[in-house]
Amino acid sequence: MTARTEPRTEIHDLEHDAFLEEVHSFEFWFQAVEGYLSGTVHGHRPDTRDVPPVGSDRERLISTLCNYCIGETAALEGASGLIAIAPNRLTKVFLSTQVADEGRHLEVLLQRLADLGVAEPESEVEKRSSPSLQLFRRRLLELVASRDWEAAIFAQNVILESLEYAVFHTHASNADPITREVLEGVIKDERRHIGFGENELGRKLAHSPHIRARLGQVRSQLDHLVLDMLETTAREIGVDRHEQERLGRTYRESVERLGFGS
Amino acid sequence: MADFLSAYSIQSWLESCPQGYLEDTEYGHAHDEKEPDILLDNEVLREETIKATVQLVVGERCALSASSGLINAAPDEASKRFLATQTLDEARHVEVFTHRLYDLGVKKNELESVIRHYANPNLVKFAEVLLEKVDKKDFIAGVVGQNIVLEGMAFSVFEMMYAMNEPINAKFAHTLSGTIADERRHVGFGENRIGSLIKENPGKKSEIERMQKEMSYWMLATFADAFRGNRTLDELNKLGVERAHGHYQGADLGVLSPEQMEHVLADTVLAEFKTRLGRIGVEYQTPAMPA
């Protein structure tokens, strides 16, 4: 899927429908991920030297990764459930690429836990999961099950993905080399997912502004869970107060870009 | 189980599929491969090709709904992750067959109405039986219906279509070869994962057998419509174009009548069902024959 012998049109010059046909396709996904996944094994280069943390730092990293696994499982279950209610073929195909991304994230994070010496990563994840994150997961799946497309996309591709993007970005800056590479690959995927959510909801809001009030309600129901998760994770990855504030700001900015101020 | 499922990991999928047999393809075929002129220029052949391709899109849309729906019903993380790769495979199939419709001249704004017009109602019923199990989050029945019955049918249909197209249409044969490789992986997962679950839940067997019998009936009805109502051979005869002599299951497809082709395909798929269901401890049920 790499050899294109004819120059392609610059995608931002395309008409809107043609733009969506391009950016929501398997072809586009493959070209995007090939650039940063080619030659990697479980999300990192095979020759990257492992310098795992020890003692309490290792314990904190394990707890953090366990909670990332819960977040990714929620995203995998949410994205796959959304395919059934997606309004058209292009959004179904895009969500299928997101399902594979989320499945990959879960796999590389579980593998990282195994590399750190966790004997049974899946049961460890259950043991260490944060109640706020589990509650968020339940709320998200309730929105999907209620077939509320806009609210579920908002919770999944704006709130959850923005949270993960902000946290992973900060964590990657002070993580050990392998964890950093794994997170950097995940961040690149999250950016694509957030873009989809912003695009999909941005258009819907432009045509049906009344949706904004409902999404504002969803945000107010989920925000305290998100902020609680942010605080816990920031503590575990060892960032200072200033960085914690920046983390919260990054999350809020992503959400507010769509016009959902607190 | 963990060891077997590691063969179905996303890492393995990345290495074997997008970085393997899909390398250097675009919408499933090489960049410079095109549909043969005769399919694009002759209205009867074009319409029959569109009709056949629509059935592929309908089947793949069903597979996409089923595999994504089964993720939330999967009892373990590794199965969820395999189904994530299958979801993306099925979406890719929807995409490549949809693009074939565009290549055959279907306009983008007419896509859904063309699909509605040509979708075989028996194939839609086949899909409904499966999707009912998925809606109920019935993982065991859903995986048997999806990865053994639906994928088993698709595998044989694609192989037959590949044999028909390989001598005359490199582009479509290439597209089919990638989907066949995917289907082989999906069928393998179904057989390997479900065998142990059936052993743990023997009470599910009779329900699964009923489902297989019903899905098989609608499949046979779809085959009957597809072969008996097809105008392709008459049109080729009228044009004086010799049929391609692809070989499938030991038969020369260039000399068989449509009814004979239907029987070869139906017998092949049903025999495959029997073998695969036997491997997971489910007894194959002979379906009623459509009129």
Q: What is the pTM of this model?
A: 0.88
Q: Which residue has the higher pLDDT, B54 or A12?
A: B54
Counted across chains A and B, CB pairs separated by less than 8 A come out at 114
Residue count of chain B: 291
- Residue B220 Cα to chain centre, angstroms: 14
Judging contacts by C-beta atoms under 8 Å, the chain B residues touching residue A5 are 31-32
3-state helix, strand, coil in chain B (%, to 5): 75, 0, 25
Cβ–Cβ below 8 Å for B94 and A5? no
Interface test with A, best of B6, B27, B34, B88 (most A CBs within 10 A): B88
The number of beta carbons lying within 10 Å of the beta carbon of residue B239 is: 12
Residue count of chain A: 262
Q: Is A141 on the interface with B (CB under 8 A)?
A: yes
Q: Is the pLDDT of residue B2 over 60?
A: no
Q: Is B99 on the interface with A (CB under 8 A)?
A: no
> What average pLDDT does range A38-67 have in this prediction?
94
Cβ–Cβ below 8 Å for A100 and B23? no
User: pLDDT, tens digit, for every residue of A6-44?
Assistant: 445 566 667 777 777 888 888 888 878 877 888 899 999
Domain ranges (residues) in chain A: 23-29+48-257
CA dist B244 to A56, B40, B49, B237, Å?
A: 70, 18, 15, 12
Q: Is the pLDDT of residue A262 over 70?
A: no
What is the C-alpha end-to-end distance of chain B, expressed in Å? 44
Q: Is the pLDDT of residue B8 over 80?
A: no
Instruction: Write down the residue that tokens 């479900």 correspond to.
Output: B194
ipTM of the complex: 0.83
Q: Is A36 on the interface with B (CB under 8 A)?
A: no
> What average pLDDT does range A75-100 have in this prediction?
94
Cβ–Cβ below 8 Å for B32 and A5? yes
CA dist A13 to A4, A32, B163, Å?
A: 19, 19, 41
Cβ–Cβ below 8 Å for A26 and B108? no
Q: Is A25 on the interface with B (CB under 8 A)?
A: yes
When mean pLDDT is compared across A3-7, B139-143, B265-269, the lowest value belongs to: A3-7
Query: CA B86, B105, A95: angle at the middle one, nearest 5?
Result: 25
Q: Is the pLDDT of residue A4 over 50?
A: no
Look at residue A10 in the predicted model and tell me its pLDDT. Answer: 66
Judging contacts by C-beta atoms under 8 Å, the chain A residues touching residue B95 are 25-27, 93
Look at residue A38 in the predicted model and tell me its pLDDT. Answer: 83
Cβ–Cβ below 8 Å for B91 and A141? no
Question: Among residues 169-208 of chain B, which lie with CB inside 8 Å of chain A?
Answer: none
Q: Is B83 on the interface with A (CB under 8 A)?
A: yes
Dihedral angle over CA of B81, B84, B86, B87, nearest 10: 160
Q: Is A96 on the interface with B (CB under 8 A)?
A: yes
Judging contacts by C-beta atoms under 8 Å, the chain B residues touching residue A6 are 31
Question: Among residues 195-234 of chain A, which lie with CB inside 8 Å of chain B?
Answer: none
Give CATH for domain A23-29+48-257: 1.10.620.20
Percent of chain A clearing pLDDT 90 (strictly above): 61
> Which residue of A lies nearest to B57 if distances are taken between CA atoms?
A89
Q: What is the DSSP string of B49-109?
A: HHHHHHHHHHHHHHHHHHHHHHHTT-SSHHHHHHHHHHHHHHHHHHHHHHHHHHHTT--GG
Q: Is A3 on the interface with B (CB under 8 A)?
A: yes
Beta carbons of A201 and A215 less than 8 angstroms apart: yes
Buried b / exposed e along B47-75 (16+ C-beta atoms within 10 A): bbbbbbbbbbbbbbbbbbbbbbbbbbbbe
Q: Band the pLDDT of A243: cuts 50, 70, 90.
A: confident
Domains annotated for chain B, with CATH where assigned, are 2-25+34-279 (1.10.620.20)
Cβ–Cβ below 8 Å for B80 and A103? yes
- Mean pLDDT (chain B) is 92
Cβ–Cβ below 8 Å for A106 and B71? no
CA-based nearest distance B81→chain A, Å: 5
Q: Which residue has the higher pLDDT, A245 or B247?
A: B247
Look at residue A230 in the predicted model and tell me its pLDDT. Answer: 87
A121 has which bridge partners?
none
User: pLDDT, tens digit, for every residue of B223-233?
Assistant: 999 999 899 99
CA–CA distance, B244 with B255 (Å, rounded to integer): 9
Q: Is B141 on the interface with A (CB under 8 A)?
A: no
Q: Is the pLDDT of residue B160 over 60?
A: yes
